[in-house]
């Protein structure tokens, strides 16, 4: 659809209708004005005729001229018996051509009764001018016309009727024309504004079709176009969310492919390396005694390999189509001990003070998905150690609270760990999306650690949240379990 077609579709029928209505009004006004003018002229001529018929004196030419003086109407008297004109206000009106025309009209008006003859107003040309005329029978009255059977013909210049018609016609005609022009301009202005707003909507829809989902400013009155613009903006926002969801789905699918393709191979390789180191430890049980007080490098290597194995397990939890990970129950103290064995060397390497806290009555609490919790907390504490940096501190505190009514048979226990580090916190540009896949500020990072921990928390009925405090960053990892 072209730019001007909508305006044409809107304006052409409207203006065409206005023109037709204006023409109809003008035609009706012309007919009504002409009818009214003829009626007024006929009444004037009839009144003069009645005056002449009621006159008690003969209608001589001098009398007729006096009547014309105050009425402006020419009068002629025609004798039917002699078939000649016996009186007139102006002899020029009864020349040969005019007399014949008047006689023909008089003969026509002489048929029928008197009432019909009174209504017969006719127009005749006299000396190049048009006159409206009315023929009235005078009767054989001796005091009027010397006893002759005569007809009185009253004439008035037709231009008077035409002026009356024009005066009565032009007012409604001009009113209709002015109204048509005003409505045309008003309609064009309204159509222009509406089409401009629709053009902006068209451009916005085109941008959306090209993949740009920016919302546009909405102006104008609260009409159907305004509601359409609001709907387009909502559609744009929904499409943007759908695009982000598709992107996240594609990222998840990529993670699934990576996890499914690499998990078995990496785990088998690590399993072989761990088996070799354990065999070496059994073959050389006293090798570590040669360096008393030093850490057992072989045990540290085993811990790091187990740490890599846990990373593979966390990666596998991001894929619902990957291999099934079998969890084993662990107490909270066992969880902390395993985390400490994995992370002590890393904390020492980064010169970070690492501590775990748990109330005595909570330490023995058993968690069914112990290994999954270890994997999630392992990632969170490793990030905290890297964020704290040299001289920093990282604390992991566990707490348990019971949810639900005491009267319930098996109320849920909500177990939460708070990992607090003294680092500067996440970068502002990624703070809002830090829990989404592939979002990271580390040059060597992939951005899968936090999303993996968040998914583990969700799978266990909990959540992963974080908050920035004045001097610390706190991640809160929670799960829900029924007490054993």
Q: Can you point out the beta strands (E) in 120-248? A: 121-126, 129-140, 149-157
Q: Is it the case that residue 448 has pLDDT exceeding 80?
A: no
Mean of the per-residue pLDDT values of the chain? 77
The answer to whether residues 445 and 461 touch, using CB atoms and an 8 Å cutoff, is no
331 against 318, higher pLDDT = 331
Length in residues, the chain: 484
pLDDT at position 130? 83
What is the residue whose two structure tokens read 């009444």? 43
At 416, is the pLDDT very low, low, confident or very high (cuts 50, 70, 90)?
Answer: very high
Which CATH fold topology does 3-166 show?
Answer: Beta-Lactamase (3.30.450)
pLDDT tens-digit profile of 347-401? 888 899 999 998 888 888 888 888 889 888 988 999 999 999 899 999 999 998 8
pLDDT at position 218? 81
CA 59, 65, 71, 73 torsion-angle sign: positive
Select the highest-mean-pLDDT range: 122-131, 226-235, 294-303, 304-313. Answer: 226-235
pLDDT at position 384? 92
Q: Give phi and psi for 124, each to the nearest 5.
A: -130, 145
pLDDT at position 217? 82
Q: Can you point out the beta strands (E) in 36-163? A: 74-79, 84-88, 121-126, 129-140, 149-157
pLDDT at position 398? 93
240 against 440, higher pLDDT = 240
Compute the distance between CA of residue 192 and CA of residue 325 in angstroms, rounded to an integer: 66
Q: Is it the case that residue 293 has pLDDT exceeding 60?
A: no
pLDDT at position 356? 93
pLDDT tens-digit profile of 134-177? 888 876 443 344 445 788 888 888 888 888 888 878 887 788 78
CA 337, 339, 342, 348 torsion-angle sign: negative
pLDDT at position 115? 45
Other beta carbons within 10 angstroms of residue 367's beta carbon come to: 23
Partners of 85 in the β-ladder: 78
pTM of the model: 0.46
Compute the distance between CA of residue 185 and CA of residue 191 in angstroms, rounded to an integer: 10
Average pLDDT value for residue range 319-344: 75
Average pLDDT value for residue range 207-227: 82
Q: What is the dihedral of CA 109, 115, 121, 125, to 10 degrees?
A: 30
Q: Is it the case that residue 321 has pLDDT exceeding 50?
A: no
Nearest Cα residue to 256 out of 434, 442, 454, 448: 448
At 323, is the pLDDT very low, low, confident or very high (cuts 50, 70, 90)?
Answer: very low
The answer to whether residues 151 and 78 touch, using CB atoms and an 8 Å cutoff, is yes
Chain centroid to Cα 292, Å, comes to 78
At 289, is the pLDDT very low, low, confident or very high (cuts 50, 70, 90)?
Answer: low
In the chain, what are the domain boundaries? 3-166, 326-481
pLDDT tens-digit profile of 233-259? 888 888 888 888 888 777 777 766 666
Range with the poorest average pLDDT among 265-274, 347-356, 386-395, 416-425 = 265-274
Which CATH fold topology does 326-481 show?
Answer: Heat Shock Protein 90 (3.30.565)
State percent of the chain over pLDDT 70: 73
């Amino acid at each position: 659809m072209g730019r001007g077609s909508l305006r044409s579709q809107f304006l052409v029928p409207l203006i065409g209708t206005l023109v037709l209505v204006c023409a109809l009004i003008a035609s009706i006004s012309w007919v009504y004005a002409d009818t009214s003018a003829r009626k007024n002229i006929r009444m004037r001529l009839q009144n003069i005729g009645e005056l002449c018929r009621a006159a008690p004196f003969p209608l001589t030419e001098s009398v007729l001229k006096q009547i014309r003086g105050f009425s402006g109407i020419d009068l002629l008297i025609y004798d039917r018996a002699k078939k000649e004109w016996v009186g007139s206000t102006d002899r020029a009106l009864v020349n040969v051509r005019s007399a014949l025309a008047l006689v023909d009209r008089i003969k026509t008006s002489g048929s029928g009764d008197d009432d019909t003859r009174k209504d017969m107003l006719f127009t005749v040309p006299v000396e190049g001018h048009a006159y409206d005329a009315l023929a009235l029978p005078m009767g054989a009255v001796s005091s009027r016309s010397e006893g002759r059977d005569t007809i009185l013909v009253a004439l008035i210049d037709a231009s008077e009727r035409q002026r009356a018609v024009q005066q009565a016609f032009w007012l409604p005609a001009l009113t209709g024309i002015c109204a048509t022009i005003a409505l045309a301009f008003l309609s064009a202005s309204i159509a222009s504004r509406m089409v401009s707003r629709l053009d902006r909507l068209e451009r916005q829809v085109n941008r959306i079709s090209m993949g740009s989902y920016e919302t546009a400013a909405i102006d104008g009155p609260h009409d159907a176009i305004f509601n359409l613009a609001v709907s387009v903006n909502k559609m744009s926002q929904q499409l943007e969310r759908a695009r982000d969801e598709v992107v996240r789905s594609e990222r998840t699918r990529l993670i699934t492919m990576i996890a499914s393709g690499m998990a078995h191979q990496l785990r088998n390789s690590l399993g072989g390396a761990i088996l070799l180191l354990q065999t070496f430890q059994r073959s050389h049980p006293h090798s570590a005694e040669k360096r008393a007080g030093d850490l057992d490098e072989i045990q540290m290597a085993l811990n790091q390999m187990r740490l890599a194995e846990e990373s593979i397990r966390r990666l596998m939890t991001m894929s619902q189509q990957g291999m099934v990970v079998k969890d084993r129950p662990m107490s909270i103290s066992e969880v902390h001990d395993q985390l400490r064995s994995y992370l002590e060397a890393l904390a020492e390497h980064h010169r970070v003070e690492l501590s775990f806290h748990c109330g005595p009555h909570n330490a023995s609490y058993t968690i069914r998905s112990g290994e999954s919790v270890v994997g999630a907390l392992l990632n969170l504490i490793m990030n905290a150690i890297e964020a704290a940096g040299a001289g920093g501190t990282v604390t992991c505190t566990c707490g348990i609270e019971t949810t639900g009514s005491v009267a319930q048979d098996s109320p849920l226990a909500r177990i939460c760990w708070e990992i607090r580090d003294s680092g500067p916190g996440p970068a502002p540009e990624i703070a809002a999306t830090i829990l989404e896949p592939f979002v990271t500020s580390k040059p060597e990072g992939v951005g899968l650690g936090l999303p993996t921990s968040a998914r583990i928390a969700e799978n266990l009925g909990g959540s992963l949240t974080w908050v920035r405090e004045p001097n610390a960053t706190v991640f809160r990892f929670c799960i829900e379990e029924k007490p054993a």
